[in-house]
Structure 1
Amino acid sequence: MATSIAKWGNGQGIRIPKGVLERLNWKSGQKVELIVDNDELKIRAVQKKRKSIQDLFEEYEEKYQCQEIDWGDPVGKEIW
Protein backbone atom coordinates (compact mmCIF):
# COMPACT_ATOMS: atom_id res chain seq x y z
CA MET A 1 0.00 0.00 0.00
CA ALA A 2 1.43 3.37 -0.98
CA THR A 3 0.95 6.68 0.78
CA SER A 4 2.78 10.00 0.73
CA ILE A 5 4.65 12.21 3.12
CA ALA A 6 2.92 15.57 3.67
CA LYS A 7 3.84 18.77 5.48
CA TRP A 8 2.33 18.94 8.96
CA GLY A 9 3.16 22.10 10.90
CA ASN A 10 6.94 22.37 11.16
CA GLY A 11 7.35 18.64 10.52
CA GLN A 12 6.07 16.09 8.08
CA GLY A 13 3.67 13.22 8.52
CA ILE A 14 2.31 10.06 6.96
CA ARG A 15 -1.40 9.26 6.96
CA ILE A 16 -2.22 5.70 7.91
CA PRO A 17 -5.39 4.44 6.20
CA LYS A 18 -8.35 3.49 8.38
CA GLY A 19 -8.23 -0.14 7.21
CA VAL A 20 -4.63 -0.51 8.36
CA LEU A 21 -5.44 1.03 11.75
CA GLU A 22 -8.40 -1.32 12.18
CA ARG A 23 -6.31 -4.35 11.23
CA LEU A 24 -3.68 -3.40 13.83
CA ASN A 25 -6.37 -2.39 16.34
CA TRP A 26 -4.74 1.04 16.72
CA LYS A 27 -6.70 4.11 17.80
CA SER A 28 -6.27 7.81 17.15
CA GLY A 29 -3.90 9.34 19.69
CA GLN A 30 -2.23 6.02 20.48
CA LYS A 31 1.51 6.22 21.15
CA VAL A 32 3.77 4.54 18.59
CA GLU A 33 7.50 4.00 18.36
CA LEU A 34 9.51 4.72 15.20
CA ILE A 35 12.44 2.42 14.50
CA VAL A 36 14.95 3.05 11.73
CA ASP A 37 16.50 -0.26 10.65
CA ASN A 38 18.99 0.09 7.79
CA ASP A 39 16.93 1.92 5.15
CA GLU A 40 13.53 0.93 6.56
CA LEU A 41 11.17 2.72 8.90
CA LYS A 42 9.21 0.47 11.24
CA ILE A 43 6.30 1.65 13.37
CA ARG A 44 5.04 -0.30 16.35
CA ALA A 45 2.65 0.40 19.18
CA VAL A 46 4.22 1.42 22.46
CA GLN A 47 3.50 -1.20 25.07
CA LYS A 48 1.21 0.07 27.80
CA LYS A 49 2.96 0.76 31.05
CA ARG A 50 1.71 -0.87 34.20
CA LYS A 51 -1.16 1.00 35.77
CA SER A 52 -0.57 2.99 38.92
CA ILE A 53 -2.52 2.22 42.09
CA GLN A 54 -4.60 5.34 41.40
CA ASP A 55 -5.47 4.05 37.90
CA LEU A 56 -6.39 0.62 39.22
CA PHE A 57 -8.81 2.04 41.79
CA GLU A 58 -10.16 5.09 39.90
CA GLU A 59 -13.59 3.46 39.41
CA TYR A 60 -13.75 1.90 42.88
CA GLU A 61 -16.76 3.46 44.59
CA GLU A 62 -16.97 1.67 47.95
CA LYS A 63 -15.48 3.14 51.09
CA TYR A 64 -12.04 1.70 51.80
CA GLN A 65 -11.61 0.24 55.27
CA CYS A 66 -7.97 -0.18 56.29
CA GLN A 67 -7.25 -3.41 58.14
CA GLU A 68 -4.21 -5.06 59.69
CA ILE A 69 -3.06 -8.38 58.26
CA ASP A 70 -1.37 -10.99 60.45
CA TRP A 71 1.49 -12.42 58.40
CA GLY A 72 2.48 -14.87 61.14
CA ASP A 73 5.67 -15.12 63.17
CA PRO A 74 8.98 -13.93 61.66
CA VAL A 75 10.97 -16.58 59.83
CA GLY A 76 14.69 -16.14 59.19
CA LYS A 77 16.27 -12.74 59.83
CA GLU A 78 13.25 -10.47 59.36
CA ILE A 79 12.96 -7.56 61.76
CA TRP A 80 9.38 -6.76 62.83
Structure 2
Amino acid sequence: MRGTIKKWGNSQGIRLPKNILEDVNLKENDEIEIRVINGMIQIKSIKKYLTLKERLEGYSEDQLKSNEWDLGKKEGQEFW
Protein backbone atom coordinates (compact mmCIF):
# COMPACT_ATOMS: atom_id res chain seq x y z
CA MET A 1 0.00 0.00 0.00
CA ARG A 2 1.25 3.49 -0.81
CA GLY A 3 0.56 6.77 0.90
CA THR A 4 1.61 10.40 0.82
CA ILE A 5 2.99 12.65 3.52
CA LYS A 6 0.90 15.84 3.69
CA LYS A 7 1.36 19.16 5.47
CA TRP A 8 -0.67 19.43 8.68
CA GLY A 9 -0.13 22.79 10.37
CA ASN A 10 3.60 23.11 11.08
CA SER A 11 4.02 19.32 10.88
CA GLN A 12 3.37 16.58 8.36
CA GLY A 13 0.87 13.75 8.61
CA ILE A 14 0.08 10.38 7.13
CA ARG A 15 -3.46 9.04 6.77
CA LEU A 16 -3.93 5.45 7.78
CA PRO A 17 -6.68 3.50 6.02
CA LYS A 18 -9.56 2.23 8.14
CA ASN A 19 -8.87 -1.43 7.33
CA ILE A 20 -5.28 -1.16 8.60
CA LEU A 21 -6.45 0.44 11.85
CA GLU A 22 -9.08 -2.29 12.26
CA ASP A 23 -6.44 -4.99 11.66
CA VAL A 24 -4.42 -3.69 14.63
CA ASN A 25 -7.48 -2.78 16.73
CA LEU A 26 -6.84 0.99 16.76
CA LYS A 27 -9.41 3.74 16.51
CA GLU A 28 -9.61 7.53 16.64
CA ASN A 29 -7.98 9.07 19.75
CA ASP A 30 -6.18 5.84 20.78
CA GLU A 31 -2.67 6.50 22.08
CA ILE A 32 0.27 5.15 20.12
CA GLU A 33 4.05 5.06 20.46
CA ILE A 34 6.11 6.03 17.41
CA ARG A 35 9.76 4.94 17.10
CA VAL A 36 12.45 4.79 14.47
CA ILE A 37 14.24 1.44 14.39
CA ASN A 38 16.98 0.81 11.82
CA GLY A 39 15.63 3.60 9.59
CA MET A 40 12.05 2.28 9.72
CA ILE A 41 9.08 3.94 11.43
CA GLN A 42 7.28 1.69 13.93
CA ILE A 43 3.82 2.61 15.21
CA LYS A 44 2.79 0.64 18.27
CA SER A 45 -0.42 0.66 20.27
CA ILE A 46 -0.05 1.69 23.90
CA LYS A 47 -1.75 -0.96 25.99
CA LYS A 48 -5.14 0.23 27.13
CA TYR A 49 -6.45 -1.20 30.37
CA LEU A 50 -10.08 -2.22 30.18
CA THR A 51 -12.63 -1.09 32.71
CA LEU A 52 -14.49 -3.75 34.69
CA LYS A 53 -17.57 -3.08 32.56
CA GLU A 54 -15.57 -3.63 29.34
CA ARG A 55 -14.09 -6.86 30.71
CA LEU A 56 -17.50 -8.24 31.69
CA GLU A 57 -19.08 -7.47 28.29
CA GLY A 58 -17.56 -10.70 26.96
CA TYR A 59 -19.46 -12.84 29.48
CA SER A 60 -22.92 -14.28 28.87
CA GLU A 61 -25.77 -13.63 31.32
CA ASP A 62 -25.55 -17.23 32.53
CA GLN A 63 -21.86 -16.82 33.33
CA LEU A 64 -22.46 -13.57 35.21
CA LYS A 65 -25.23 -15.14 37.31
CA SER A 66 -23.18 -18.24 38.15
CA ASN A 67 -21.97 -18.74 41.72
CA GLU A 68 -18.99 -20.71 40.45
CA TRP A 69 -15.78 -18.78 39.83
CA ASP A 70 -12.36 -20.35 39.51
CA LEU A 71 -10.11 -18.27 41.75
CA GLY A 72 -7.11 -20.54 41.35
CA LYS A 73 -5.38 -22.54 44.04
CA LYS A 74 -5.08 -21.35 47.63
CA GLU A 75 -1.87 -19.38 48.10
CA GLY A 76 -1.54 -18.51 51.77
CA GLN A 77 -3.80 -17.77 54.74
CA GLU A 78 -6.94 -17.02 52.74
CA PHE A 79 -9.92 -19.31 52.93
CA TRP A 80 -12.83 -19.87 50.55
Which has a greater percent of helix?
Answer: 2
Unaligned runs of 5+ residues in structure 2 are 53-80
Runs of 4+ in 1 over 2 A off after TM superposition: none
Unaligned runs of 5+ residues in structure 1 are 57-80
Aligned equivalents of 1:32, 1:2: Cα separation in 2: 21
Q: Percent identity?
A: 42
- CA RMSD of superposed structures (Å): 1.7
Q: What TM-score results when the alignment is normalised by the length of structure 1?
A: 0.58
Larger Rg: 1
Instruction: Say how many residue pairs are matched.
Output: 52
Aligned equivalents of 2:24, 2:46: Cα separation in 1: 13
**SS state of the match for residue 3, structure 2?**
coil
1:17 equivalenced with 2:17 (yes/no):
yes
Which position in structure 1 is the counterpart of 2:42?
42
**SS state of the match for residue 41, structure 1?**
strand
